[in-house]
Amino acid sequence: MPKAPPTTFRSLSVRNFRLFAAGQLVSVAGTWTMVVAQDWLVLGMTGDSATALGAVTALQFAPVLLLTLYGGRLADLYDKRMLLTLANLAAGALALTLAVLDLTGTVRLWHVWLLALGVGIVNAVEVPTRMSFVGELVGNELLPNASALSAAYFSIARVAGPALAGLLITAFGTGWAIALNAVSYLATVAGLRMVRPEEYRGCVVEDAAAGREEAEVRVRDGLRYVASRIDLTLPMLLVAAIGLFGMNFPLTLPLLAKTVFHADAASFGLLSASFAAGSLLGAVAGTRRSGRPAARTVIGAALAFGVLEAAAGWAPGFIGAACLLGLTGFASVSFLQAANHRIQLGSDPHYRGRILALYTVILQGTTPLGALLVGLLTERLGARAGLWFGGLVSAAAALVALLFEHRRTRRPPDREEVPEVPEDARAHPRSGIGPDERPVRGATPGGQEG
């Protein structure tokens, strides 16, 4: 039978993923609503203190760096659906607490800091669990499409959430905008509870109750597994290099608009919207992928991103910069999606939670450090330098990766390295998926998955 051509929304044909995606769209829009409301609340309480606002961001971000690897371990050990349910209920409770404090006029800055720290701890578990759960819902064949659609609805929510927050804050104040986010988590919880575990399409790994000891699921084993697989290490290193130097747009775009083009807030919004529109189109384009991308596809997307970002930094006029930033947004999502798909589809499901946790730490952990480096550079060489320097370093990293991949693939067949199958993966044969195997269906009794 001829294979049907890929379609943009084919993963939505899976009932479980439809329910999950619908809940996520509502919840993520609510999250962006709260981001704006919380920032506005802190600025109002502190007289526009950038230090206080930075402290909120740092407290919310620190647990992601410190605890996400352990969150990935939990995702590999316990029922992902239950973990996500508990994480969303906890996040909703934290948002509701802040909303009540705000609406009753009793909120203090230390309340916001403490609750931001709590949200960061929840995210350290939720992010790797959510990313690996999608694979179980749709299976390897539909994973690239489902992942790209997830990026698309995240982009949509990132536009809709702040717009809704502006309306709510103007009409009712920050408290009700935060309360809306608390309620929005119930959409994800409802979707998760309606998911049918017996209809999972991905490879399900036995959990501890089925004979898997908790001591076997260790963070360091996941790190060793990645280190033994050059096809996983190479995209991880590319993500680290580009995240460190190239993904600093929250810093570079405001500076470009204000100090180079002397634009007002509306024009700055146009630059941001252009980048966001390109990102959304990149996510939609990624829905056409139906298998694991080749290493050169990942490297080519990284090279295109670097060249386009550098070109945007040298753009002579505002319109040219807006157009190039749209293309840069497209290339950035194309690269991140290709790297994510290559890592997920090439990894053993027994380790997938820990591997995606490492991916998250690398991507999100390098960006703040890069912002400090790029910030110092722009102070000395101007706002344009943040873009062209990040682009050139990203392009150089891609060229180095391309040279390495070319030399690796030219080795004689008898010298090719075959990744060693870890002991705990050999002990659980259902957890492994070879390059030509189809995903294994099924779940353990009672709807528990590993």
CATH code: domain of residue 259: 1.20.1250.20
User: How many domains are there within the chain?
Assistant: 2
Torsions phi, psi for 78 (to 5 deg): -120, 175
pLDDT string in tens for the chain (450-residue length)? 444 445 778 888 899 999 999 999 999 989 988 888 888 888 788 886 766 776 787 788 778 888 888 888 898 888 999 999 999 999 999 999 999 999 999 999 999 999 999 998 999 999 899 988 988 899 888 888 888 888 888 878 877 887 788 888 888 989 999 999 999 999 999 999 999 988 887 655 544 444 345 545 688 888 889 999 999 999 999 999 998 899 888 778 877 887 888 876 567 667 877 888 888 899 888 888 878 999 999 999 999 999 999 999 999 899 999 999 999 999 999 999 999 989 988 888 888 888 988 998 888 777 667 777 877 888 788 889 989 999 999 999 999 999 999 888 876 654 444 444 444 444 443 333 333 333 333 333 233 333
Same domain, residue pair 316 and 177: no
Torsions phi, psi for 105 (to 5 deg): 75, 15
- Distance of alpha carbon 197 from alpha carbon 217, whole angstroms: 22
Q: Please, are residues 318 and 345 in contact by the beta-carbon 8 Å criterion?
A: no
Return the CA Rg of the chain: 22
pTM of the predicted protein model = 0.72
In a domain, 421, yes or no: no
Same domain, residue pair 237 and 201: no
Give the helix ranges, DSSP H, for 246-382. Answer: 249-255, 265-286, 295-313, 318-345, 352-381
Q: Please, are residues 130 and 328 in contact by the beta-carbon 8 Å criterion?
A: no
Give every CB contact of residue 379 below 8 A, 6+ residues apart in sequence: none
Q: What share of the chain is helix, strand, coil (3-state, %, to 5)?
A: 80, 0, 20
Same domain, residue pair 293 and 387: yes
Domain that holds residue 400: 218-409
In a domain, 138, yes or no: yes
Same domain, residue pair 403 and 305: yes
In a domain, 99, yes or no: yes
Among 188, 172, 216, 201, smallest CA distance to 354 is for: 216
Same domain, residue pair 165 and 55: yes
In a domain, 9, yes or no: yes
Dihedral through CA 51, CA 52, CA 58, CA 60, nearest 10? -160
Same domain, residue pair 147 and 201: yes
Same domain, residue pair 7 and 108: yes
Distances 38 to 4, 142, 149, 256, 275 between C-alpha atoms, Å: 47, 36, 28, 26, 24
